[in-house]
Structure 1
Amino acid sequence: MDIEHVRSRFKKHFNDEVGSVYASPGRINLIGEHTDYNGGFVFPGAIDKGMVAEIKVNGTDKVRAYSIDLKDYVEFGLNEEDAPKASWARYIFGVCREIIKRGGKIQGFDTAFAGDVPLGAGMSSSAALESTFAFALNDMFNLGIDKFELAKIGQATEHNYCGVNCGIMDQFASVFGKEGSLIRLDCRSLEYKYFPFKPVGYKLVLLDSVVKHELASSAYNKRRQSCETAAAAIRNNNHPEVEFLRDATMDMLKEVKDQISAEDYMRAEYVIEEVQRVLDVCDALERGDYETVGQKMYETHHGMSKLYEVSCEELDYLNDIAKKCGVTGSRVMGGGFGGCTINLVKDELHDAFIKEAFASYKEKFGHEPKLYEVVISDGARKLA
């Protein structure tokens, strides 16, 4: 993230003024996919790619914002009817409105921002943008909002101003991220715990399939429904304590096998196993056992591909190449139907794996994947 670039653009657009500089990261999720709406655990970490914004109070009741990457400038007021048309500006406007709804007093400001989180690769560029502005405005106006509320402000911005009904994980990781640590977040209680992630001798590599299949939103809703159906069947079968699939065991699921469809059973099987895999990975990391971490990643991919059926040909192909090249762990990251695989690769295998992945993938699909090397880094912060 290039601070000097942001500072020079800010200076150019806002007449040599100097403001404060803030940053927030994108994120990866090592394991724990489709567990959030089942009351389970997710296991994200902040990465060394994100958003940087320079901000200065301008003495008016207007926000003047410049997106350096899009070369686009927008002005808007701070009342509900002032919502800007540009979708990127709605993230900033939404954060301002959510702070105001919570009683925070803010004034107009000038800002220029840029990011190096790849758009559409599942690393959550929008959460990085929301967290940057939530953190910055809280700091600049001394609002005293705690970190959890900052994450919720980002989430509410998505819900109320950007039309995305997301969970809390992306914003949470962006605000709470810590260098050298992943965070296990309990999506039901919102309790969290840091676990060491210092894979000496390994690299964390994302391979972007550069495809996005259109199924995603309808398929997501269908799978969510399957999970709720299975949880209700278990609950009604003498297990009143089962609120979400997170509370269920495979034995409980087997008891209701004849009462639910084969498809609902498969979906529930994946989720129950995935909740356990997150806990297994946490245990492995505390022992520094990255081989087990990798094995669990492959198990997750298999479950997402064969039981939850949210993978696609391109992602399965990248996963197969990883296996063939001896990569320690590989899986589809995110909701599925496109996006990236996340790979835990031994240093000595790294170059050969990337070379093979690029050549084989291009031969099969006619274009190369994109490569992102990521390092686990700190969350939202003031830079200058």
Structure 2
Amino acid sequence: MRADHGVTETFEQRFESSPTVLSRAPGRVNLVGGHVDYNAGIVLPAAIDRATVVAAAPRSDDTVRVHSARMDDTVTASLGDDRDDWAAYVVGTATVLADDTDVSAGVDLVVGGDVIVGAGVSSSASLEVAVAGAVDAVHDLDRSPEALADACWRAENEEVGMACGIMDQFASALGQADHALRIDCRSRDVRPIPLDTDAAELLVVDTTVSHELTDSGFNERVRECHEATARLDELLGKRVRSLRDVTPDEVAEHAETLPEPLAARARHVTTEIRRVRAAADALADGDLARVGDLLRESHRSLRDDYEVSCAELDAAVDALDTAAGTFGARMVGGGWGGSAIGLVEPDARESVVDSVRDDYRDATGIDCEIHAVDFGDGLSVRRV
């Protein structure tokens, strides 16, 4: 595990004792597969080398005491408490693990790290998975990374109220350095696909437009997909459990019958699943030009059919796409703000960064933040 970002020292100062476990879980980017995971589709994310780090020690009661080093805020709660702040992710995750294992999973925690917050790289899943790894270790629960990722996904749905799919938590728990993950969100099969880091690097362009997905249209998009699924189940004469079971041709055939925006939402999901399959194959073949084209197609679909982009995201994608040395670019994350990603030639990185920074400022009047990230490993836990 890398440097602990000062969480050990902070733990000792705050709680006047020493932690017994250090847990680290990364954020993620999603190359292709936006808004597909909660439709039981296939996605292509990668863990990145920016992470949440947690220092932890067990308690013998049902109390969760957590301090955020980045926000300088301490919260004390009980397992099962309903919260509407950042600690909901922590308390919710500990609660699900306690319920699953029938263990009194009280814990003291200090949270820190360098994951980019509010930029669409899933800092929330990073927090959940790091907390899950810590709680698992301090109470000797012996859960697999897959089981911890599932617990975090359920915590975000059941305790936080975010109707997300499994992608973010599974990418954070199971990521592999220098690899993307092809995740089948129905079967939960995970297949690592190598990225030639000598041929391509990843840039994250943070628009600095923040968003709260639970307060946005995210859950509305989930509802629309469920409604489109029900309509297509009636129209197609076959069992449609999710939009995963529908082809783009079937959506096109019934587009006039489906009321808008349901046809557009279904068109995005079904074509995006097709793009994920193509991108996974192209990445495995080292065809980065093809991967770049699919990133562009994905962004257009997210912008036009799924309507989750915004002017700042479009400006960031345009700035990346017009910079010499970029294979392709798209928005990343839930939408309505956050970041765009660009796959770029390593030798062109500095010139791309300079060009994007200037073009984005010219288009929006805002200074963006640009991060070069590597594809990193997933959850790691060690005893101290």
Answer whether TM exceeds 0.5 for this pair: yes
- Equivalent residue in structure 2 for 1:188, among 180, 183, 186: 186
C-alpha distance in 2, partners of 1:214/1:377? 26
Counterparts of 1:347-358 in structure 2, within 5 Å, are 347-358=346-357
Give the alignment's Cα RMSD to 1 decimal.
Answer: 2.5
Aligned mates of 1:4, 1:232 — CA distance in 2: 48
Residue 205 of structure 1: how far off its partner (Å): 0.5
1:67-122 CA-partner distances (Å, limit 9, x unpaired): 211222233444x3xx3868233332222221221134245443322121121111
Segment of structure 1 superposing worse, 244-253 or 111-120: 244-253
* Count of equivalent residues: 381
Unaligned runs of 5+ in 2: none
Q: Which residue in the other structure is 2:284 paired with?
A: 286
Which residue of structure 1 aligns with residue 372 of structure 2? 373
State which of 199, 203, 226 in structure 2 corresponds to 1:201.
Answer: 199
Query: Cα deviation per residue 1:176-215 (whole Å; 9 max; x = unaligned)?
Result: 1111222122222222222112332321001011224789
Please give the per-residue CA displacement for 1:16-63, whole angstroms capped at 9, x wherever unaligned: 635321111111111101212322111111111111112223566544
CA distance in 1, matches of 2:221, 2:157: 20
**Inter-CA distance 3–41: structure 2 relative to 1 (3 Å threshold):** same
Q: 1:129 to 1:222 in 2, by over 3 A?
A: closer
Query: For residues 13-162 of structure 1, what are the structure 2 equivalents within 5 Å?
Result: 13-15=14-16, 17-57=18-58, 62-78=63-79, 80=80, 83=81, 87-106=85-104, 108-162=106-160
Q: Is the 8 A contact 1:202 1:347 kept in 2?
A: yes
Offset at residue 330 of structure 1 (A): 0.1
Task: Give the distance between the partners of 1:320 and 1:116, measured in 2 at CA.
Answer: 27
Q: Which residue of 2 aligns with 1:242?
A: 240
Relative to structure 1, the CA distance from residue 107 to residue 349 in structure 2 (aligned partners, 3 Å threshold; closer, same or farther) is: closer
Query: What is the TM-score normalised by the length of structure 1?
Result: 0.90
3-state SS in 2 of match to 1:113: strand
For the 8 Å contact 2:49–2:374, the answer to whether it is kept is yes
Report what 2:9 is aligned to. Answer: 8
1:269-308 superposed Cα distances (whole Å, 9 cap, x missing partner): 2222111110001111221211111111011111112222
Deviates more, 1:357-366 or 1:219-228: 219-228
Residue aligned with 1:102, SS = helix
- Code of the residue aligned with 1:185 in structure 2: it is I
Q: Distance in 1 between matches of 2:74 and 2:151?
A: 24
In structure 2, the CA distance between the partners of 1:329 and 1:216, relative to structure 1 (3 Å rule), is: farther
Matched, 1:325 2:326: no
Structure 2 CA distance for partners of 1:17 and 1:227, relative to 1, 3 Å: closer
Secondary structure class of the residue paired with 2:157: helix
Partner of residue 266, structure 1 = 264
Tell me which residue corresponds to 1:295. 293
Q: 1: distance between equivalents of 2:276 and 2:343? A: 16
**1:365–1:104 CA distance, 2 compared to 1 (3 A):** same
Retained in 2: the 8 A contact 1:51–1:117?
Answer: yes
**Is the CA contact 2:153–2:164 (under 8 Å) kept in the aligned structure 1?**
yes
* Higher mean C-alpha deviation, range 10-19 or range 340-349: 10-19
- Residues 285-344 of structure 1, C-alpha deviation per residue, up to 9 Å, x if partnerless? 221211111111011111112222222222222222222213101001122221111100
**How far 1:354 moved relative to its partner?**
1.3
Q: Which amino acid aligns with 1:341?
A: A
User: Mean alpha-carbon deviation: is it higher for 315-324 or for 102-111?
Assistant: 102-111
Runs of 5+ unmatched residues, structure 1: none
Equivalent pair of 2:162/2:214 in contact (CA under 8 Å): no
Distance in 2 separating the partners of 1:261 and 1:25 = 40
Matched, 1:343 2:342: yes
**AA of the residue aligned to 1:176:** L
Q: Secondary structure of the residue that 2:32 maps to in structure 1?
A: coil
Instruction: Describe the shift of the 1:255–1:362 C-alpha distance in structure 2 as closer, same or farther (beyond 3 A).
Output: closer
SS in 2 for 1:121: coil
Give the letter aligned to residue 296 of structure 1.
L
Percent identity between the aligned chains?
33
Q: Output the CA distance in 1 between the equivalents of 2:162 and 2:310.
A: 23
Q: 1:218 to 1:111 in 2, by over 3 A?
A: closer
CA–CA separation in structure 1 for the residues paired with 2:22 and 2:309: 39
